[in-house]
Structure 1
Amino acid sequence: MRDFALAPPAASPLTGGLADSVFEAADRDPTLPMLARRDPVTGSWEEVTAVEVRDQVCDLAKGLVAVGVSPGHRVAVMARTRYEWTVLCHALWAVGAEVVPIHPTSSREQVAHILRDSGCVGVAVEDEQSVMTVGSVCASLPRLRHVWQLDAGALRELVERGSYIPVTTVDSLRRIVLPDSTAVVAYTSGTTGRPVGCALSHRGMASCCDTLLAGWRHTVVPPGGQGSVLAFLPFSHVYGLLVQNLCIRGGLLMGHQPDLSREALASALQSFRPTYLCAVPSFLEKLYKRFLRTAQESGRGALFERAARTAREFALAVERQRLGRGSGPGLELRMQHALYERTVYRRLRSALGGRVMRATSGGSPLGRDLALFFEGIGVYVNDGYGLTETGGGITAQPPGREKSGTVGRPVPGTEVRVAEDGEILVSGPSVFQGYVGDETATRAVLRGGWLATGDLGHLDAEGYLSITGRKKDVIVTSAGNSVAPAPLEQRLRMHPLLHEAVVVGDDRPCVGALITLDPEFLAFWRGGLGLTGDGPTRQAREENALRDEIARAVAAANSAVSRAESIRVFRVLPTTFDHVNELLTPSLKVRRDAVVRHYAAEIDAMYEARTRPAPPAPQEEVLAWDDADDVFR
């Protein structure tokens, strides 16, 4: 077992609750722009100062007191990432209540379980549909007394209800909130079984933020200006809450973007023009594919591919130089990079608003090639690591010593170990208090002050952590071969045609994959084939070409693993994964177990497609699965 730890955190210890951030900011710099609201008609952004945010939080907190929300009460928020989320969240913390985030697309059963398990006294929902969802389960929730609909002006009504409450009441409640009081009960994504609520303290969540701000804030803020972040990740996930708290505690201007459609998000980035981007790997993968598709549609596909290759080569040379392993880019590479900077890279950055200095990726590991691409075009992506149980990030790239392909080193004050079986263990101030109402589950993961994360990884000689997968996701074939699916899936997703991939193979003779296609890129790809002929003949040729293209993508992914780990069979699914069929988590990760259950018949058919008349001996059976086979039927 190896461990690495850095110096203690430089940030001052927390003395109260997270709501204090708003009040302290208003006292320190009343006119500082803290939040930005977008006009739904004009699309312009209106900045809201620190003192205005404080007054809104205080007025809403008075309303919560008026309707009986008290310290220790739990209130759920079931809404997209929007301005009201932040104000309500801090108002709840100001009166000592605990926030229970629920993703707005959660099913009726998930909503009922979370509200019942957490014992919420109230829930704020976004629209009429969510009101109906909550209303359908109210009979089984005896503690639930309030349902507030944001789109119906519920917060305005709460403010009016509390107009008679003195401000001193809120101040008194805020000052009795202790750092170790629970701030958030965040339910895990439920990739296996029912979700459980992670109790996260004010101290734990603030510690993570303050440590990152102390060491990395200068990478967010432009010289002589104020840093800005467009928050579009769901606040129902701890990563989204981390972004919110970083902005509030760090004095960064935060805009909210609830609509995650490509057009709406692109418009928001162009108009808000953030200096820093907080994203997940799937967003960055889609962004790269969009760059590629746009270039191909304009007849510049070959130019983009050359520019992308140069970007990766340039970033690799720069990385070697900063790690003391090389002299940096040579003259020819610098000249090529400068040429593409003028013709390609700055245009790519303009799609993000033109001011993004750096970015952070979290939720799952980011592929090294993709990280090098973004660094090469001028947007370094800090790939970090964290869990719901740690309140956010516990590793980050050391400034000036970044190493793509890893998730960095433990942040100051946090220790990381890798057990003999490869499981990552974490200890530090941000580790959660335990699972609400489930001591057995808590004892199973908290062992002698260390959190057993369930993730697999390794630490290199310099203390950089690499994530290789989840313990529960490791596939064991019938021949006894152990396969980590994440690296294969990551490489498959980089092909522009492929949207998602789930590697399977437990107790099967070989590794297989379920694949979904990107609908937009598929339409463009089909149009570019230029096939002629009648309907049936043309369709057959299109399917053959598509089969060959996907087979090449599978072969490229297989080139990075051993023969025993390679994908031998695959099936293309007719639809993509989404929240509606509960195959994605709020942070856009695939629920592997749910996919395997949902497509059990397709998986069986995929393997049965290559059955042989006489079953071979066990040792011969694996050898019989020679080349990757595709199954479109």
Structure 2
Amino acid sequence: MNFLQEIFTQLEAAPDTTFLQELRDGRIVSVTGSELMELVRKAQSFLAAQRLKKGDRCALLAHNSIRWVAMDLAVMAEGLIVVPLYGRQAPEELVVMMKDCAPALICCGDTELRDGIVENWGEAPPQFVFDQIFDRPGSSAATVKLDDSDAVTIIYTSGTSGEAKGVVLNAGNISHMLGCTSARLDLLMENKNKAGQDRVFHYLPFCFAGSWIMLLTCLLRRSLLTLNTDLNRLAKDMRAAAPDYFLNVPALLERMRKAVDEQLANTGGLALTIYSHAQRAWLRKQAGYGGSIWLSVARALIFPTIRKKMIGSNLKGLICGSAPLNVETQLYFMMLGIPVLQVYGLTETTAICTMDDPRHIEPGRVGPAISGIEMKLGESEEIIVRGPNIFPGYWKRPEETAKTLRDGWFHTGDQGEVNEAGNWSIVGRIKNLIVLGSGHNIAPEPIEDELLRHLAGAQQVVLTGNGRGYLSAIVTGDVSREEVQGALDAANSQLPHYKQVRAFHIHPEPFSIDNGLLTANGKLKRDLIASRLQAEIEEMYGVKQAS
């Protein structure tokens, strides 16, 4: 039985159990197993009427919703390949992706999304909005048989440079991954009543691989997945959902930590005194100096209130992926009694290669390899992986596939390190390495993270220096020159001479998706940043060299 059949079996076996609920405009919209299956059948009926053939592509352009889930399941059940697209991405970029994969039809969440495509693609294939698709009776359509080698999705990677590539994932990839993720969640939830549902909160777009895997895992586990549909209500919705766990990106955890600090600073009084002393005691404990009465008092009086106000009273842990998490932030949540499980992976590895074991979390590391896969270090300490989670290739890009898939091993492009316990850490992207004129190779990410740690008002720090005599930094956000210089002094004092940052430029406007300097999932487009800010970069080196 493949993963799709298993999900349908779970939905049919629990017809009256609520699987999904949307928090929309202050209301809760929910569906049970039987109701979700009815929506899937309606979508299947629509797809069957289009007379498509197995392997045809179907673009899915919509924001997270219950109907998104039903559409996704229906497309796969009909033997089609779903191509999920990000609703916030520029229509002209989405059109490039769709021209690459040539979908037979485009399914849009609303008319605004559809119109954006039509305006940029006069020859677009037929487009339909959800209101048209689900406005029909369901049928008792059967699920097309899927072999492990059958492609079920093409997910376009954001691409920090160059054109996005379509990552093909097959039924075997998904089936293996869902078994791995569910097993890790079993460990996290081992002390919970087995008869109850996992309560899971979700706000990340389903078009990203890790977010989609979480969705499918929840359906398979009969979890209650609560969907946020308005990021402006994220904090309220999070508390309302009172989840056992949920998937995060580091940026949100950083904001949550900052919000607690600011709120307690504004409140002042005894609570702030206990909190501040407890934080210092926790750091001393991490350095091996033992505990403190302040920490015990905070655990009894302060931390439970913070946890409840922040996320609710049911939280067992947070799961974090997509980018490196600052170790201080991970330790902060651990201080509050909230374990943070880090996940590492790429779209090409079906989102996951490693995931923290809840019983043995090492702060600053991303856990051991998941079951059934092999990981090792190749040339230049590059992480290479093989196993049933590895994608079969990029859509119609055999040369690109051959570059990354060699002798059965997928070359991730990430530098890593593994300890004796088998727990991995990620150093940075090999292609991001800065090679100074002296020949020193420097991974920029650890230094950038350290500078950000010292700059509360900064949004991003980007290092430059390829072929130069020293490193320089571009800092975005609301910071002063004095603050940046102070951060450089603090960081440089801990670094060897060739890793020290000698010059900087403050760029007030943060890099974003809207200005084209971040990818769809928030990663820096370093080459484009260097191109746009070439004059500012030259000035940093010109001034320094002239002095």
Coarse TM-score class (shorter-chain normalised): over 0.9
CA deviation digits over 1:345-369, x for unaligned, max 9?
Answer: 2232121123211011111221222
Extract unaligned runs of 5+ from structure 1.
1-14, 318-325, 523-545, 614-633
**RMSD of aligned residue pairs (Cα, Å):** 2.2
Match in the other structure for 1:30: 15
Give per-residue Cα distances to partners, 1:507-532, cap 9 Å, x unaligned. 222111111126xxx7xxxxxxxxxx
Q: How many residues align?
A: 541
Q: Distance in 1 between matches of 2:6 and 2:69?
A: 12
Equivalent residue letter for 1:241: W
The answer as to 2:479 corresponding to 1:501 is no
The 8 Å contact of residues 158 and 519 in structure 2, kept in 1 or not, is answered as yes
Distance 1:438-1:357 versus aligned 2 partners, 3 A rule: same
Give the match's secondary structure for 1:610: helix
Match of 2:417 among 445, 452, 458: 458
Structure 2 partner of 1:355: 314
Asked whether the equivalents of residues 61 and 109 of structure 2 are also in contact (C-alpha less than 8 Å), the reply is yes
Q: Deviation of residue 46 (structure 1)?
A: 4.2
- The answer on 1:336 being equivalent to 2:314 is no
What is the match of residue 154 of structure 1? Answer: 132
Q: CA deviation at 1:31?
A: 2.3
**Distance change in 2, residues 1:516/1:348 (3 Å):** farther
Which residue in 1 is equivalent to 2:188? Answer: 219
Following superposition, the deviation at residue 120 of structure 1 comes to: 0.9
- Residues 134/39 of structure 1: CA separation in 2 closer, same or farther (3 Å cut): closer
Shift of 1:559: 4.1
- AA paired with 1:405? G
CA distance in 2, matches of 1:221, 1:129: 44
In 2, Cα distance between the equivalents of 1:310 and 1:587? 36
User: Does the alignment pair 1:138 with 2:131?
Assistant: no
1:272 to 241, 247, 252: 241
C-alpha distance 463-222 of structure 1, shift in aligned 2 (>3 A): closer
Looking at structure 1, the residues matched to 304 and 52 of structure 2 have their Cα atoms a distance apart, in angstroms, of 50
Residue deviations 1:465-520 (CA, integer Å, cap 9, x gap): 110000100001222221101101222233322221111111222111111126xx
Give the 5 Å matches for 1:482-631: 482-494=441-453, 495-517=455-477, 546-612=480-546
Cα distance between partner residues in 1 of 2:457 and 2:476: 9
Offset at 1:566?
1.6
Deviation of 1:458 after TM superposition, in Å, equals 1.2
* Cα pair 2:42 2:133 within 8 Å, conserved: no
State the alpha-carbon separation in 1 of the partners of residues 381 and 350 from structure 2. Answer: 22
Q: Retained in 2: the 8 A contact 1:183–1:200?
A: yes
| 1:595-616 deviation digits (Å, cap 9, x = unpaired) | 2222222222222233417xxx
**Contact conserved, 1:233 with 1:239, CA < 8 A, in 2?**
no
Which segment drifts farther, 430-439 or 346-355? Answer: 346-355
Distance 2:488 2:223 in 1: 43
Deviations 1:353-391 (A, max 9, x none): 232110111112212221111111111111121001011
The residue identity in structure 2 corresponding to 1:209 is L
Distance change in 2, residues 1:37/1:105 (3 Å)? closer
Change beyond 3 A, Cα 1:128–1:514: farther
Contact 2:44–2:139 (8 Å) recurs in 1: no
2:401 matched residue in structure 1: 442
Q: TM-score, normalised by structure 1?
A: 0.81
- In the alignment, is residue 287 of structure 1 matched against residue 256 of structure 2? yes
Distance 2:191 2:23 in 1: 23
| Alpha-carbon offset, residue 304 of structure 1 | 4.2
* Aligned: 1:247 with 2:247: no
> Which is bigger in relative contact order (C-alpha 8 A, separation at least 6)?
1
CA contact (8 A) 2:43 2:133 kept: yes
Distance 1:246 1:311, change over 3 A: farther
CA contact (8 A) 2:477 2:510 kept: yes
- Match among 59, 78, 81 for residue 95 of structure 1: 78
Q: For the residues of structure 2 that align with 1:93 and 1:68, how far apart are their CA atoms?
A: 15
In structure 2, the partner of 1:8 is none
Judging changes above 3 Å, is the alpha-carbon distance between structure 1 residues 441 and 66 closer, same or farther for their aligned structure 2 residues?
Answer: same
CA distance in 2, matches of 1:47, 1:478: 59
C-alpha contact 1:233 1:587 (8 A) present in aligned 2: no
Of the structure 1 ranges 119-128 and 573-582, higher mean CA displacement relative to structure 2 is found in 119-128
Name the SS for the 1:139 alignment partner.
Answer: coil
Q: Matches of 2:489 and 2:64 in 1, distance apart?
A: 39
For 2:113 and 2:282, locate their aligned partners in 1 and report how far apart those are by CA, in whole Å.
Answer: 45
CA distance in 2, matches of 1:395, 1:585: 23
Equivalent AA in structure 2 for residue 460 of structure 1 = N
Supply the distance in 2 between the matched residues of 1:397 and 1:290 (Cα, whole angstroms): 26
Q: How does 1:395-414 map to 2 (within 5 A)?
A: 395-414=354-373
Residue identity in the other structure for 2:325:
L
SS of residue paired to 1:569: strand
The code of the aligned residue for 2:209 comes to: V
How far did 1:312 drift? 4.5
Q: Which letter maps to 1:205?
A: I
Give the number of the structure whose alpha-carbon radius of gyration is greater: 1
The CA distance in 1 between the partners of 2:24 and 2:446, in whole Å, is 42
Shift in alpha-carbon separation, 1:305–1:570, aligned structure 2, 3 A: farther
1:58 aligns with 2:41: yes
CA gap of 1:609–1:344, structure 2 versus 1, over 3 A, is farther
Cα distance per residue 1:243-278 (max 9 Å; x no partner)? 1112111222111113223xx100110111111021
What secondary structure is seen at the aligned counterpart in 2 of 1:499? strand
Return the TM-score normalized by structure 2: 0.93
CA distance in 1, matches of 2:273, 2:431: 41
Would you say 1:298 and 2:267 are equivalent positions? yes
What letter is aligned with 1:108?
P
Q: 1:39 to 1:468 in 2, by over 3 A?
A: closer
1:297-336 equivalences under 5 Å are 297-299=266-268, 304-313=275-284, 316=286, 330=290, 332-333=291-292, 335-336=293-294
List per-residue Cα deviations over 1:412-460 (Å, max 9, x = no partner): 1011010131100001111001001010110111111110000001111
Q: Supply the distance in 1 between the matched residues of 2:401 and 2:331 (Cα, whole angstroms).
A: 38
Question: For 1:479 and 1:206, how far apart are their aligned partners in 2?
Answer: 48
Runs of 4+ residues over 6 Å off in structure 1: none
The residue number in structure 2 matching 1:237 is 208
Asked whether the 8 Å contact 1:19–1:91 carries over to 2, the reply is: no
1:368 has 2:337 as partner = no
Q: Secondary structure of 2:353's partner?
A: strand
Write the letter of the residue equivalent to 2:253.
L
Q: Is the 8 A contact 1:469 1:486 kept in 2?
A: yes
- Distance change (3 Å), C-alpha of 1:357 and 1:477: same
- Counterpart pick for 1:345 among 303, 327, 332: 303
What percentage of residue pairs aligned between the two structures are identical? 26
Residue 66 of structure 1 aligns with an amino acid whose one-letter code is: A
The question of whether the paired residues in 2 share the 8 Å contact of 1:384 and 1:407 is answered with yes
Match for 1:610: what amino acid? K
- The letter for the 2-side match of 1:121 is A
1:208·1:394 contact (CA, 8 Å) conserved in 2?
no
Equivalent residue for 1:259, pick from 216, 230, 236: 230
- For the residues of structure 2 that align with 1:484 and 1:296, how far apart are their CA atoms? 35
- 1:127 is displaced (CA, Å) by 4.0
